[in-house]
Amino acid sequence: MSLKAQGQERAEAGQFAEARALLLQAVRLMPGNAELHELHAQVLMELGSVWEAVRAAGRAVQLMPEWADAHVTLARAQLNFGEPVLAEASYERALEYMQQPSADAAVLACVRQELAEAGLLAERQRALGPGVRAVVKDAGAEAGPHGEAAQDEEEGEGRAAGAEGAKRRRRGGAGQGSSGAAVPAAAGTQATVNQPASREGDGTAGAGS
């Protein structure tokens, strides 16, 4: 069984730490495989490693820019990292590549819903001006490349970053087989737009996992 298959198996069983270790080995052996980076990003989100997830998903997008799944995963990672404006743009690109007769209606509806929710946060982020970020509410989540945990004390604000029903049917990228995993979007985090904070290490699509 390949490292990718083993990683998928562990992820589907909820053993995300083990899945991460296996997928990291696979990525190092095959750094040009977009599906490995995308799957790695999903597992990293489950572990709360949102900055690393942004980088992994960003690499998948760089390798396969027309693969809708990679854009959706990048959008979710960017949202969890606290960048709804970037997430909104990634969701929009994903939908552009999903507009095909064969596209799954349920998947399209799910992505559109997530885009609408990201758009609400993005609108507020823009209204508050430059330097404003959303803060991820998750006691163990990384908030940047140095792993600082950002806490937002505002109650009643925000949204679940992985929307209800975010589990989606996996679709293969162009020229590659389906990654086969059914890893849900990261749960247990909430993104809210907070007051201006440092933008050092922001959630743009990074290079490499």
Average pLDDT per block of 10 residues along the chain, 209 residues long: 93 96 96 96 97 97 96 97 96 91 87 96 89 54 40 34 35 35 38 43 45
Distance CA 144, CA 151 (A): 13
Q: Considering the domain boundaries, does residue 54 fall inside one?
A: yes
Which structural domain range is residue 132 located in? 3-196
Confidence (pLDDT) at 89 = 97
Q: Considering the domain boundaries, does residue 202 fall inside one?
A: no
Q: Considering the domain boundaries, does residue 201 fall inside one?
A: no
Q: Considering the domain boundaries, does residue 206 fall inside one?
A: no
Q: Considering the domain boundaries, does residue 207 fall inside one?
A: no
Tokens of residue 14, six digits:
């909820």
φ and ψ at residue 45, rounded to 5 degrees: -65, -40
Q: What is the largest CA-CA distance in the chain?
A: 51
SS3 145: coil
Confidence (pLDDT) at 78 = 97
CATH number at residue 110: 1.25.40.10
Q: Considering the domain boundaries, does residue 107 fall inside one?
A: yes
Q: Considering the domain boundaries, does residue 180 fall inside one?
A: yes
Q: Considering the domain boundaries, does residue 205 fall inside one?
A: no
Number of domains in the chain: 1
Confidence (pLDDT) at 95 = 95
